[in-house]
Amino acid sequence: MFIERLTLSNFRCFGPAPLTIDLTPGLTAFVGVNGAGKTAVMQALQRLFGITGDHRRLRRQDFHIPSAEIAAPLQRSFVLEAIVAFPELDAAGAGGAAIPEFFHQMAADEAGRLKCRLRLEATWTDDGSLDGTIEQKYWAIRTFGAYTEADCTELKATDRARIQMIYVPATRDGASQVTAFLRGRLWRAISWSQGVRDTFTDAGTTLNGAFAGEPAVDIIAAAVRRRWQEVHTAGTDTTPLFRPIDLRFQEFIRKVEVVFRPDEAGRERALDDLSDGQRSLFHLAMTAAILDVEAGIVADPAAAGFQDGGVPLPALTLIAVEEPENNLAPFYLSRIVRQIKDLTRGPRAQAVVSSHSPSILARVDPTEVRHFRLNPADRTARVRPISLPPGEEEASKFVREAVRTYPELYFARFVVLGEGASEEVVLPRLAEAMGLEIDRSFVAVVPLGGRHVNHLWRLLTDLDIPYATLLDLDWGRSGGGWGRIKTTCTQLLANGVQPAQLFGPHLNAAGPVVVNVEGFDAAAPDNIVGLNQWMGWLNQFNVYFCTPLDLDYSMLQAFPAAYQVIEPGRQGPSPLGDPRTAVLGDDGLPHLYGPPQDAFLRWYRYLFLGRGKPSTHVRVLSDQDSAVLAAGAPPEIRALLTSIVARLTPAAPAGA
């Protein structure tokens, strides 16, 4: 069984329109920038399934306050609804016994499958007190869709405990309330032998007696007793005693502590003496270990040394880990994710992990990711899954690997899709030189603008992340020039751009008449006017082209004196061979370039073919004055960077 989906309405940063988040049976990752709503979902799950009273307690802050609200109402309300599914029923031979009896009594039918619908409704009323009053109803509803009170069964505290959420917050402490609860639950369930109990009683009595027999202790006890009896004359509680060992066995086992050995000096180290990162790791390890033990208890409590029915174990444990990257080196994250996934392979555990760091996203599958983003218009949270190409093996694999390799996509305010690593070096440096406020932390430049770029456009559109694409025109190369224009238009059409938007009486009569993508095949390769016209036209779709070849050639043309420098120990461009064939390829069109371009092509071959392109740009740009770079930036790069700033700058309010 697992929590299949969670619906929130008017809870914290979630507005009045119900928003449903689908969860996976194993691990679900909540990703997004700070303040996007990830913690709010964790808190919603705590209100439904928390293991402590504090986790379940409703607060005034849980009720959503609209950003445009002028006057506070006398009442607010929210609704949380969780759907519990039972995929184990799909197994061959599985019957009703596969569902715990408690859930069987509350199960409802949804499209032929038994599921459990749990709904928490809460109302806050301003009664004149500081925090107001909160009333709540927690129901199991035996139908889907509209329901009446007859369809509802109230959930008691013992019923709620059938699903328990273990919350590991961003600030972790191995001695926290959650860990203490888990330890206490298991300690109470152990079938303690009489020998252990007798040994504890005998040893405790002996220690208490020895302690009380110390002369100094007797002097202190007598002084306290005398002063106490002077102010307290009742017939009970007249004699205070100092007793270091509590002889109540259950109190004794509740206070069991963890120590680690050895430390650098060969001694034991207390949990509080560990570093923040070590305590984080231990908290996670402790949670995993307890779930392992509980699995053994379910299989055979007597063999595991526990009482049969000593402590009712939950039918489902939801592990919620907030920001596991806090206090931990990145290489630990693989171990943590692997351990969490291992725990959720069974039918009794499910996990959610939240993160605002790209470091964890390379370790989870894109289908497990739920992307959080705050709508700036009304300050409410949006949650969306990652869109993968359906039914296309190659494209789906490409997008999966792309987002795992460049997880900064999820956290960017703007994404520039380029075709290579050069863009990651050149664009930020030119933006800095031009005085444009483009923070590399918020504008991600990723080399994913080639094949399958339409799927990445769709992905970013679904996530509501603005983007632009910088492509190579590759004029003169096989498939370049008009071929690149055709490919771009094909991908725009695949991404939902209407043909009427793309083709029509928009272009100058001097350009080619193109009414569909096949029309580009008839365009003359040397039609520079038409190419420039179409490249400018595609800017409105946030697509820009480096001309005539790629970004490397554009920078070489823009700053020839800076790039045409022979490095120490090297011989410079070779005069041998045809530079056009070397750069354009055997299937290229060398006649498109004249003798004036041969010098540039030789330097291009020397600087960028057969060696690292980014290193060349780093070497050159680091020595250039910003004013020189700003004045000479290639026009297409200037247009791209200017558009990024314009789209990131909030529009001024009307009438301002």
Q: Has residue 506 got a pLDDT over 70?
A: no
Mean pLDDT of the region 493-517: 72
Establish if 117 belongs to a structural domain.
yes
In the prediction, which pLDDT does 207 show? 95
pLDDT band at residue 392 under the 50/70/90 scheme: low
Given a cut of 90, is residue 643 above it in pLDDT? yes
CA gap 45, 12 in Å, rounded? 13
Q: Which stretch of 222-236, 437-451, 499-513 has the lowest confidence by average pLDDT?
A: 499-513
Q: Which among 249, 254, 244, 243 has a CA at the least distance from the CA of 201?
A: 249
Q: Is residue 19 part of a domain?
A: yes
Instruction: Calculate mean pLDDT across residues 181-200.
Output: 82
Instruction: Say whether pLDDT at 508 is over 70.
Output: no
Instruction: Check whether 476 has a pLDDT greater than 70.
Output: yes
For the ranges 140-149, 404-413, 591-600, the lowest mean pLDDT is seen at: 404-413
Determine how many CB atoms are found less than 10 A away from the CB of residue 609. 12
Quick one: pLDDT at residue 102? 66
pLDDT reported for residue 654: 46
b/e code 273-302 from CB counts within 10 Å (16+ = b): ebeeebbbbbbbebbbebbebbbebeeebe
Asked if 319 and 437 sit in the same domain, the reply is no
Confidence grade of residue 656 (pLDDT, cut at 50, 70, 90)? very low
Q: What is the pLDDT of residue 174?
A: 45
C-beta of residue 361 within 8 angstroms of C-beta of residue 410: yes
Question: Residues 10, 145: one domain?
Answer: yes
> What is the per-residue pLDDT for 376?
84
In-domain check, residue 588: no
Residue-wise pLDDT for 143-152, tens only, equals: 998 999 989 9
Compute the average pLDDT of residues 489-497: 89
Answer yes or no: do 267 and 329 share one domain.
Answer: no
Check residue 175 and give its pLDDT.
47
In terms of pTM, does the model score above 0.75? Answer: yes
Sheet holding 316-322, edge to edge: 163-168, 316-322, 349-355, 27-31, 369-375, 380-385
With 0-12 CB in 10 A as exposed, 13-18 as middle and 19+ as buried, what is 343?
buried
Same domain, 292 and 405: no
Main-chain phi, psi angles of 437, to 5 degrees: -80, 85
- Rounded CA separation 542/470 (Å): 9
pLDDT at 310: 64
Residue with tokens 């949380």: 80
Q: Are residues 184 and 167 in the same domain?
A: no
Characterize the bridge pairing of strands 108-110 and 113-125.
antiparallel
Please tell me the predicted confidence (pLDDT) of residue 99.
64
Among all chains, which residue has been given the structure tokens 């040893």?
203
In terms of DSSP bridges, do strands 349-355 and 27-31 run parallel, antiparallel, or are they unpaired? parallel
Q: Is residue 587 part of a domain?
A: no
**Measured distance CA(599)–CA(310) in Å, rounded:** 85
Position with higher pLDDT, 349 vs 572: 349
Same domain, 214 and 162: no
Phi and psi dihedrals of 472, rounded to 5? -90, 130
How confident is the model at residue 59, as a pLDDT?
A: 95
Give me the pLDDT at residue 619, please. 92
Give tens-digit pLDDT for 424-470: 999 999 999 999 877 766 788 888 767 678 888 988 988 889 999 99
Q: Is residue 578 part of a domain?
A: no
Query: For 268-294, what is the mean pLDDT?
Result: 81
315-331 pLDDT, tens digit per residue, is: 899 999 988 887 777 77
**Complete DSSP assignment for 153-190:** EEPPHHHHTTEEEEEE-SS--TTSHHHHHHHHHHHHHB
Q: So what's the pLDDT on residue 275?
A: 81
How many domains, in total, are found in the chain? 3
Per-residue pLDDT tens over the stretch 5-53: 999 999 999 999 999 999 999 999 999 988 899 999 999 999 999 988 8
**Does residue 474 sit in the same domain as residue 526?**
yes
CA angle 613, 614, 618 (to 5 degrees): 125
Comparing 27 with 573, the larger pLDDT belongs to 27
Q: Do 18 and 165 sit in the same domain of this protein? A: yes
Asked whether residue 260 falls in the same domain as residue 322, the answer is: no
Q: Tell me, yes or no, whether 474 lies in a domain.
A: yes
Q: Which helix (H) or strand (E) holds 119?
A: strand 113-125
Whole-number average pLDDT of the chain: 86
Name the one residue in this structure whose structure tokens are 């206490």. 184
User: According to the model, what pLDDT value does residue 91 have?
Assistant: 65
Q: How confident is the model at residue 522 (pLDDT cuts 50, 70, 90)?
A: confident
Q: What is the span of the domain harbouring residue 295?
A: 178-299
d(CA 55, CA 44): 9
* CA–CA separation, 6 and 41 (whole Å): 9
The answer to whether position 383 is within a domain reads no
Lowest-confidence region among 353-362, 407-416, 509-518, 547-556: 509-518
How does DSSP assign 342-411, residue by residue?
HHTTSTTEEEEEEESSGGGGGGS-GGGEEEEEEETTTTEEEEEEPP--TT-HHHHHHHHHHHHH-GGGGG
Is the domain of 167 the same as that of 183? no
Q: Average the pLDDT over 227-239 and give the result.
A: 86
Across the chain, which distance is largest between two alpha carbons, in Å?
A: 114
pLDDT for the residue 509: 45
Residue 573: predicted pLDDT: 86
Determine the Cα–Cα distance for residues 542 and 285; give it in Å rounded to an integer: 48
According to the model, what pLDDT value does residue 418 have?
92
Lowest mean pLDDT among 257-261, 491-495, 501-505: 501-505
Closest CA to 29 of 530, 332, 411: 411
Question: Given this model, what pLDDT does residue 307 score?
Answer: 78
- pLDDT value at residue 446: 87
Find which of 254-268, 295-309, 366-380, 510-524 is predicted with most confidence, using mean pLDDT.
366-380
Task: Convert the pLDDT of each residue in 47-99 to its tens digit.
Answer: 999 988 889 999 999 999 999 999 999 999 999 999 999 887 776 555 555 56
Q: Is the pLDDT of residue 655 over 60?
A: no
pLDDT value of position 49:
94
CATH number for position 121: 3.40.50.300
Of all residues in the chain, what percent carry a pLDDT higher than 90?
A: 46
CA distance 33 to 414: 13
> If pLDDT is split at 50, 70 and 90, which confidence band does 379 have?
very high
Residue count of the chain, please give it.
Answer: 656
Q: Is the pLDDT of residue 101 over 70?
A: no
| CA pair distance 576, 460, nearest whole angstrom | 46
pLDDT at 180 over 70: no
**pLDDT exceeds 70 at position 510:** no
Query: Quick check: is 219 in a domain?
Result: yes
Does residue 441 share a domain with residue 521?
yes
389 pLDDT higher than 70: yes
The Cα–Cα gap between 47 and 26 comes to 21
Determine the Cα–Cα distance for residues 105 and 154; give it in Å rounded to an integer. Answer: 12
CA 321/CA 354 separation, integer angstroms: 7
356 and 403 in a common domain: no
